[in-house]
Structure 1
Amino acid sequence: MNTHNPVQDILSRLEGVKSTGQNQWQARCPVHDDQHASLSVGCGKDGRALVYCQAGCSTFEIRRVLDIPWSAFFPADSTAKSPSRIVATYDYRDAAGELLFQTVRMEPKDFRQRRPDGNGGWIWELGDTPRVLYRLPELLKADPAKWIIIVEGEKDADNLTSLGLVATCNPMGAGKWHKLSDDSVLHGRRVAIIPDKDEPGRKHAQDVADRLAGKAAEV
């Protein structure tokens, strides 16, 4: 009988592991320079391994760095399928409106980035593609008197835009503002930041505010 335990297998590949409760652990995230054990690891009801990085690293990135297949997250007798179904795509375009890359939402919930390969297909990493703000062409055309609202995800930005507001976010979620190639479209503008209601969201909002201080007209 195969006794593969996905949680213990993943924990064995991590550093700084400590138990925080029943079937719950914290460890250093293998994706970024983690000094605070920001990776949560747990066990789902069906025995699958659940991982969440509070700094915003995706499950896809964690799997890639650990160099394990998607099947490693599931018990040997699990009928669950690898997370590969695309449920939403969000286009990131340059100032001229040309598509640079997409953020892709997968189900079960995960986010990945891809860029056109020039032949009608996709390359599932960004390489040296400029990291621009979401809805950049709309930001450039927006009424200078309007506030620009910064949120944490593309869906929230789209929802606010549908209400007639000007909204944006950076790619790859909380803690990744520093990876932007350029945020000059926000310089001289009035900016409001709406964080997610969690600690990574609050830290992200403060980081963005600090980086825009002295550049934006008001934050």
Structure 2
Amino acid sequence: MPAPIDLVLSRLDGVKATGRGKWMARTPTRADRTPSLSIRELDDGRVLLKDFGGDDTADVLAAIGLTFADLYPDSNRRPARRGPNGTAVEVERRIVAFGMSLLAQGMQLPPSDLERLEVARRRLAQLGGRA
């Protein structure tokens, strides 16, 4: 089973190392213009997440198909889920619906928002959802 940090980082977009055991990434619960999700691996293997945009950690985890238990190294824990749960699908659907609504109103979205909209559409297509 992958280490918690590998599990988390593999499911995020725009990950950049900022130091030893520290990263920043785009928050998966919204169209981040710049990375605002801080990820830190502690010496004991635990992973800490902090979204400086204010999104709840539980929502961030749900959007990438994980739970708080997945942030802790423990050989007795259950295997991590392989795909996003229903909440994550709903987050992606909301992103697509909101983005498409703005585009239909003639609004110009910044490239980072268009990129996040496309990520959400791809994720829904992979899950067999409608995008």
- Structure 2 length-normalised TM: 0.54
Once the two structures are superposed, the pairs formed by residues 69-108 of structure 1 within 5 Å of their partners are 69-77=67-75
Which of 38, 42, 45 is residue 44 of structure 1 equivalent to? 42
Q: Are residue 13 (structure 1) and residue 11 (structure 2) matched?
A: yes
C-alpha contact (below 8 Å) 2:26/2:37 kept by paired residues = yes
Give the C-alpha shift of residue 77 in structure 1.
3.5
Query: In the aligned structure 1, how far is the partner of 2:66 from the partner of 2:20?
Result: 25
1:30 corresponds to which residue?
A: 28
Could you list the runs of 5+ residues in structure 2 that have no partner in the other structure? Answer: 78-131
Poorly superposed stretches of 4+, deviation over 2 Å: 76-79
> Which structure has greater helix proportion?
2
Q: In percent, how many aligned pairs have the same letter? A: 32
1:58 corresponds to which residue?
A: 56
- Letter of the 1:13 counterpart: R
Query: In the aligned structure 1, how far is the partner of 2:65 from the partner of 2:42?
Result: 21
Once the two structures are superposed, the pairs formed by residues 106-125 of structure 1 within 5 Å of their partners are none
2:127 corresponds to which residue?
A: none
Give the C-alpha shift of residue 78 in structure 1.
7.8
> What RMSD, in angstroms, separates the aligned Cα atoms of the two structures?
1.8
Aligned length: 77
- Letter of the 1:9 counterpart: L
Query: In the aligned structure 1, how far is the partner of 2:20 from the partner of 2:75?
Result: 23
> Which structure has greater strand proportion?
1
C-alpha contact (below 8 Å) 2:38/2:49 kept by paired residues = yes
Quick one: structure 1 residues 78 and 46, their matched pair in 2 at CA, closer, same or farther if it must change by over 3 Å? farther
